[in-house]
Amino acid sequence: MSYLLHIDASSLGASSISRQVAQSFRDSWEGPVVHRDLAVSPVPHLTAEGISARSTDPAQHTPEQAKAAQLQDELIDEFLGAGAYLFTVPLYNLSMPSVFKAWLDQIIVDGRTLDFANGAPSAGRPAVVISARGGGYSPGAPNEGRDHLVPTLETILGWSHTLGLTVTTVTPELTMAPAVPAMSELIPLHKASLAQAHEQARRLAETIGRRPAA
């Protein structure tokens, strides 16, 4: 396996539960890692120049198109060079952080990461999404059905018509319980969910790390 590409999208730094669980994965991972922290160094949102550069002869690129194409090439080469992926993407306002959506829009390009005839070049590669959430969104919880992050990411990352990754999601829940008095009775459930997430992350790192290179 070439390397693990770790994309971080949490704005909270070391206090981020998503990052803490991701660190459990990293601590159990044996092998090289390429880490891109979108909170520290966000990639720009996709522009008209970035879109038009994809269908324009590079020799005819404007300076703005050339700059946009250079960034996309860097991100796509980094993505395609990985053998496995770790995405730290917490639930923000029922969806994904905008910095992660910006990264996705930059790397999803027909003819590079998409191939509708033959399938994506990344198809079948393992990916782990770690997504902490302040409340409870699991089946039977009050917020069931209001998580618009995990279903979206599992589709974008895992659908055969997009990136085709083999996605496993780790979701520590009720992270606001220790800070919100009205949720204090849920602290034991939060602690159990967090412990389970750390253990799941460690197991996934060990399992994926043993996979032979594709």
Please state the domain extents for the chain. 4-209
State the average pLDDT over residues 204-209. Answer: 95
Using alpha carbons only, give the angle 166, 78, 122 rounded to the nearest 5 degrees: 30
Q: Which amino acid is at 125?
A: R
Average confidence score pLDDT of the chain: 95
57-83 tens-digit pLDDT = 999 999 999 999 999 999 999 999 999
146-197 tens-digit pLDDT = 999 999 999 999 999 999 999 999 999 999 999 999 999 999 999 999 999 9
| Cβ atoms within 10 Å of 214's Cβ, excluding its own | 12
SS3 83: coil
Tell me the pTM: 0.94
**Sign of the CA dihedral running 182, 148, 204, 34:** negative
- The CATH number of the domain covering residues in 4-209: 3.40.50.360
Q: What pLDDT sits at residue 213? A: 56
